[in-house]
Chain A
Amino acid sequence: DAKTTQPNSMESNEEEPVHLPCNHSTISGTDYIHWYRQLPSQGPEYVIHGLTSNVNNRMASLAIAEDRKSSTLILHRATLRDAAVYYCILRQYRGGKLIFGQGTELSVKP
């Protein structure tokens, strides 16, 4: 199973952009890159996902490297509510296990 590597923690100031990196050097051609976040005492929630092209939605943007071996989740203006653990995972199109790594704990300073 392809694995992802993320920094354990990152800090940001409120209303500044945040770039959360993820390395996935063993990604296969059919793996989707998914990002989830988990707020304290809650279950994980979906943020964004993509295959090859950069993606935007109302929560965030996902920038995917041309060789797909890394990606970056971009929060354009961090708020205190964005403080959470962010997980980057690879989702096989044809099913199978969905393994979570340790994630990046993002703290946001006012």
Chain B
Amino acid sequence: NAGVTQTPKFQVLKTGQSMTLQCAQDMNHEYMSWYRQDPGMGLRLIHYSVGAGITDQGEVPNGYNVSRSTTEDFPLRLLSAAPSQTSVYFCASSFGQGGILYFGPGTRLTVT
């Protein structure tokens, strides 16, 4: 198993550009989620999904969209990038809604 994979590892965007951060897992996990982590801070939940076709907002959803068309993939879309979205983004998944959370390696995003 590859576990939770994220692409790209690094990305630089200009203000106003859009992009999609990819997250995939090959463990047949129902639950997937996106977090952002700013320097010296803890993780903040952006969006999460408890299964294909179901998504919900976390603590800081503004400026981000998600969809879950398959069990394996949970992409995060930045609609119009802003410097405040400069952060490290982590995707995580778990089997069942109360299970152990597995994290991807992260995507470091810089918006200039």
Contacts and interface: CB of A to CB of B under 8 A. Distances in A.
A95 B31 contact: yes
Interface residues of B, number: 25
A10 to B, nearest CB: 16
B102 A46 contact: yes
Chain A: interface size category: 20 to 34
A96 B104 CA distance: 20
Interface in A54-110: 85, 87, 91-103
Contact of A87 (B42, B48, B104, B106): B42
8 contacts: A43-B103, A43-B106, A44-B103, A85-B42, A97-B56, A98-B45, A100-B35, A103-B42
Interface of B: 31, 33, 35, 41-45, 48, 50, 56, 58-59, 90, 92, 97-106
6 shortest A-B CB distances, which residue pairs? A95-B97, A43-B103, A93-B98, A100-B43, A95-B50, A102-B42
